Amino acid sequence: MSRHTVIEDALVTSHYDLFLRVDAAIEKNSALRPLFEDLCAYIYALQSEIQVEKPPLKKRKLDISSDAANGDTKAAEGTWADINVAPSWKMADVSFSIPQRKKLHVEIVKKDSKAGVKKGGIRGVNAASNTVEFGANWGEIDQVFCLPVPEKAKKQHNFVVLPRGADGITPAAEGAAAPEPIVWTYVEPTGKDIKEGEDPGPGTTSRAIDQHLGLYKKQVIYPTDKEFSSSIPQPHRKGEKAYHVKAFRGSKEGYLYFTSVGILFGFKKPLAFFPFDMITSVSYTSVLQRTFNLNIGVTAGEQEQEIEFAMLDQADFSGINEYVQKHSLQDTSLAATRKAKKLNINGPPKGGEETEVQEDGATELAKAEAELQDLEDEEEEDYDPGSEGDSDGSGSSSEEEDYDENAGGDEDGEGADIIAEELGSEAEEVEMSDDEGE
């Protein structure tokens, strides 16, 4: 990428997506390089003029420890936040998108009491100013993901580091700023850029991180076929599976990843992560022929909320629903159990009255659903017109009813009521025919 220095200076920090498009265009047609360089030189000159007119930006404060927050300047000494502490591993000139859009060095600092390093961590370092821009202690990190970036000609992977409380859902403590995720992009080298004997993929970075996360019984999380893969083929990369689902959170477009530890939505701010222990329910709405909406109910602290993701492709419904069922995310009654697993405490008592009612209800709902499928074929001949078993009178298709039931639609009791009425009507008919037989 060094051959595009002018282009990088003009676009990387302010319009990274545009930079990638320009870079891809030059890869396809090298004759375009002089034109793009001239344009970017002009843009860079304009940016420099504007920068002079702007007041200097306040430097981002590093959230190193409570002592540092209280004004103890020595708190950073001997930690990852101390620029004088040498890293044990680093990768130069990496493009970050969160918390800053900037090109920095990724550095890993190892805790080493003998060398005077009290706290290890991962950090972004500005080589030009020789300063640490941001980072996190290893012990503060909740999860690290390595996720393929969708819809890119070159293979790219986003590393997402989530410190505790940086999930985009948990409210910050009163008077404190919420910690932010750290996101940078690893672009796989191609052609002459590939170094002999080196893994061109993100594995080298993952292994370097795993050496430290392993002390906390964690590792870098990759998406897998076992959890979820999209049914939609990638036109730009034939034969390779995709692990994302395009969705909208409000007006913001992003991608959902269904991983072994939870559901992540990225990569623009606000990035959101839904660990299993935080999810109380999952349901589907606006189920149409081509799209549907996914609603995730969560409990963060004492707050309960439901977050909607819209316009998911219908082709991925089956895979998503299988993932939801596999982890019992549609079952509100198991939310306490999921949370107990995270906290390593006992779940709700077995045989409890509330649990029995809900589990029995879910079982009966499944049985009744199967019976109703058989009854629908005989509706015109055997169905009682006086029954109140219509599906809400809304004219919704049986396909939509199936989606609602699969998504735990008995959450508000409507699904169970409908089935009870349907079966009740059928039971009346059976009794009448018995009387006639006598």
Least confident of 12-21, 116-125, 180-189, 306-315: 12-21
Distance of CA 115 to the CA centre of its chain: 38
Q: What is the CATH topology of the domain spanning 239-348?
A: PH-domain like (2.30.29)
- Tell me the Ramachandran region of residue 184: left when phi exceeds 0, alpha when psi lies from -120 to 50, beta otherwise: beta
- CB 265 within 8 Å of CB 183: no
The chain-wide mean pLDDT, for the chain, equals 77
Q: Is the pTM of this model over 0.75?
A: no
Q: Where are the alpha helices (DSSP H) in 327-352?
A: 335-343
pLDDT in tens, 237-247: 888 899 999 99
Distance, CA of 276 to CA of 338 (rounded, Å): 6
Distance, CA of 230 to CA of 320 (rounded, Å): 9
What pLDDT score was predicted for residue 237?
82
Buried b (16+ CB within 10 A) or exposed e, 372-401: beebeeeeeeebeeeeebebeeeeeeeebb
The contacts found for 81-90 with CB under 8 angstroms, 24 or more apart, are: 81/121, 81/123, 81/132, 81/135, 82/132, 83/125, 83/130, 83/131, 83/132, 85/109, 85/117, 87/123, 89/208, 90/125
What is the per-residue DSSP string for 363-430?
HHHHHHHHHHHHHHTTHHHH--TT-S-SSTTTT--HHHHHHHHHTTGGGGSHHHHHHHHHHHHHHHHH
Q: For domain 59-222, is the CATH number 2.30.29.150?
A: yes
**Mean of pLDDT values over 366-370:** 48
**Structural domain spans, the chain:** 2-53, 59-222, 239-348, 353-437
What pLDDT score was predicted for residue 335?
63
Per CATH, 59-222 and 239-348 having the same topology is answered yes
pLDDT in tens, 343-355: 554 334 444 333 3
Name the most confidently modeled range: 16-20, 36-40, 143-147, 406-410. 143-147
